[in-house]
Amino acid sequence: MDLYFCLDNGVHLKLTVEDSEQPYKLARRYLLNDLPSEEREKVEASILADQAFYEEVCELENDLFWEYAAGKLSVTERQAFETAFLMSEDGRRKAREIQEIFGELRESVEENHSIPAKVT
């Protein structure tokens, strides 16, 4: 799949994505620092050139934080996430906040779905 972008300065950019790797997967790999530098540069140019793609990457970043809080990342993804996001104070703060919200949601679900004790 080829993605085409026209930058504000008139430069046209072509980003080739293998058929098996959709833009979602490419952006995910970008966020987890799992792309060669040439591919990273192309993704970064796409983020700057395409507002919709930028918003998609931002949503995906939020999804990664929630997946991390829920323990849904593979070991490799978890390590990459921690390296990419938890090295900064902002990243650690965001992760703490989401983990707190996730914990509160989990407690709420457990309380609302608990089986009452049998009365004899």
> Which DSSP symbol is given to 86?
T
26 belongs to a structural domain: yes
Mean pLDDT of 19-41: 84
The better pLDDT of the pair 37, 12 is held by 37
Distance CA 82, CA 36 (A): 19
94 belongs to a structural domain: yes
87 belongs to a structural domain: yes
68 belongs to a structural domain: yes
Domain that holds residue 64: 2-112
Distance CA 63, CA 45 (A): 22
119 belongs to a structural domain: no
- Number of domains observed in the structure of the chain: 1
Entry pTM: 0.71
- pLDDT tens digits, 39-68: 899 899 989 998 988 998 999 999 999 999
